[in-house]
Amino acid sequence: MKRLASFVLLVIFSVACLVPAQAQRLTPEQNARQSSKAAKKQQKMLKKAEKKQRKANNKFLKAQRKATKRANKDLQKRRRGR
């Protein structure tokens, strides 16, 4: 009885393993669709990264301008104090 049950389970698992292998075959249209989706996703991520980089750069430039302005203001104060 145990041998029969194990044989039946073995057959079921072997059939179950074969089904996904057949389902993974892609047609050229599906492959093209997947690759275009991947390309779009890559472009979107690049665009997002570029936007983040621009934002960080603008933030840095603003901080730099503010620091320069503050330094010039302090310099003017020191010159007037003499």
**What is the DSSP code string of the chain?**
-HHHHHHHHHHHHHHHHHHHHHHT---HHHHHHHHHHHHHHHHHHHHHHHHHHHHHHHHHHHHHHHHHHHHHHHHHHHHHH-
The CA distance from 5 to 54, in Å, is 65
Phi, psi of 25 (to 5 degrees): -65, 130
Question: Tens-of-pLDDT digits for all 82 residues of the chain?
Answer: 778 788 787 788 776 666 655 556 778 889 999 999 999 999 999 999 999 999 999 999 999 999 999 999 999 999 987 6
Maximum Cα–Cα distance across the chain:
106
